[in-house]
Amino acid sequence: MAGTYHYEKEYRALVEGEPEEAVLNKWRQGVFLDGRRTAPAEVTVARREKGKTWLHVTWLHVTWLHVTWLHVTWLRVVLREGRKRQIRRTAAMLGHPVHRLIRVRIGSLHLGDLKPGQWRTLSKAEVEALRATLAQPPSKARRTPRKRRAPGTRGKPSRKRRKGGGGKRKY
């Protein structure tokens, strides 16, 4: 199901640090990526914990293993659009880089206990639920609002003029 259909995609993201409520509210309202605001997302804290980071330091052919403890937070993120690396880019922009990202579900389909690269056949109930979901257009309340044209403009967008005078050339 393509991101243009605005169906929910749920993820678990392990982010560095402990995001404050103000940071999560920014993410919930949408942030600017590539000059466009992202659609609002549901972001909730699932669990806070301490995690390890491993750093291999090599100097003069000797390797040391340096372990540091840092606070990490598991977030539950539900998107209704899917831009490339959207969760990773948004979290990094807000100061909490993603260490692990797991997709949990798309629409009504739950991933369950599948390992990476593993697949299974859908049950009849899952296929019917998918067909019902695809048959109904997504609710308009969840869609990103369209830009409206100013009154008095035509239905077609204006053409950009070429550099160098544009128009027909006379020889």
Chunked into runs of 10 residues, the chain (171 residues) has average pLDDT values of: 68 92 94 92 89 62 64 91 90 92 87 85 88 67 55 60 56 50
How high is the pLDDT of residue 136? 67
**87 Cβ contact partners less than 8 Å away, ≥ 6 residues apart:** 11, 13, 77, 79, 98, 101
Q: Is 119 helix (H, G, I), strand (E, B) or coil?
A: coil
For residue 3, give the DSSP letter.
G
Adjacency order of strands within the sheet including 98-106: 42-59, 62-79, 9-16, 98-106, 109-110
How high is the pLDDT of residue 83? 87
For the chain, what are the domain ranges?
3-113
State the DSSP H helix or E strand holding residue 125, giving kind and residue range, or none if neither.
helix 124-135
User: Rounded to whole angstroms, how far apart are CA atoms 23 and 27?
Assistant: 7
Write down the CATH number for the domain with range 3-113. Answer: 3.30.70.1560
